[in-house]
Amino acid sequence: MGRLENKSVLITGAASGIGRAAARLFAKEGAKLLLADIQEKAGRETAKMIGRDGGKAVFQLSDVTKEDNVRKMVEKTVDLYGSLDVLFNNAGVELLKPLHETSEAEYDRVININLRGVFLGCKYGIRQMLKQGRGIIVNTASAGGIIASTDAPVYSASKGGVIMLTKTLAVDYGNYNIRANCLCPGFVRTAMNDRFLEHYEVVDPIQNRFCDCVPIKRPGTPEEAARVALFLACEDSSYVNGTALVMDGGIAAG
């Protein structure tokens, strides 16, 4: 029996990286999935991978910044599977720029995707969860929402916002049998982090220079992040509510 047996799960940002790894792992644990992303081809590929593994997943093209898209992805999950048991708001984008060089358009894009997207997902997810009388929310924030890192003021602010938003949900809806927690990765090897690395002009070998700041001396894998997300998404974490769970190889400890 899987840890998400027959659970209806919606994952945003499921076309790539942590979202794709989580989708594949959750499916193996018995979840029925709605995968949402703006990347149609890669999102459909995630669904196909899950199908080949014997799991159940449907992709829906969705932009988390658009309220009607978010409402529809929640509705589609309920139409397909009868409920929304777990909502994993994971879609996000990075921005590495010092504040004085950041344009308003860049600020708006990051805040819209990383924070507004989570707000909208939670708004429609919680409406459904209140009807059902239960639900679990996992929001991907970042270790960067807890500790400041170089050249990421807007990204870090967006993720700090996700953490605080999530804590308020834990307080406001715990009494309605709805839990909300954050996954806070440090450096996980995904498309996003490859862009981070380009920015720092650290190409190869990643372990030698980039990972000097990581006590474990290597980046995390999407699969490692997915396992932490699974813990927050299933009953193993039944008494965990409002936490920002850091998986960063120890960066934030120093």
Ligand X SMILES: NC(=O)c1ccc[n+]([C@@H]2O[C@H](COP(=O)([O-])OP(=O)(O)OC[C@H]3O[C@@H](n4cnc5c(N)ncnc54)[C@H](O)[C@@H]3O)[C@@H](O)[C@H]2O)c1
- Write out the residues near ligand X by the rule CB under 6 A: 12-13, 15-19, 37-39, 62-65, 90-93, 113, 117, 140, 142, 185, 187-188, 190-193
Find the helix or strand (DSSP H, E) in which 37 lies: strand 32-37
Quick one: DSSP state of residue 3?
T
Of residues 81, 124, 155, 173, which has the active-site annotation?
155
- Residue with Cβ nearer ligand X (170 or 183): 183
Q: Tokens 């799960």 belong to which residue? A: 9
> DSSP secondary structure string, 98-109?
-GGG--HHHHHH
Question: Residue length, the chain?
Answer: 254
Least gap, CB of 232 to ligand X (angstroms): 13
- Residue with Cβ nearer ligand X (15 or 57): 15
Distance CA 53, CA 174 (A): 35
Quick one: DSSP state of residue 93?
-
How many CB atoms sit inside 10 A of residue 164's CB? 15
Least gap, CB of 169 to ligand X (angstroms): 17
- Residue with Cβ nearer ligand X (156 or 237): 156
Distance CA 192, CA 93 (A): 7
Catalytic site residue 176? no
Q: Which two tokens stand for residue 83?
A: 């409920």
- Residue with Cβ nearer ligand X (90 or 181): 90
**Catalytic residue set:** 155
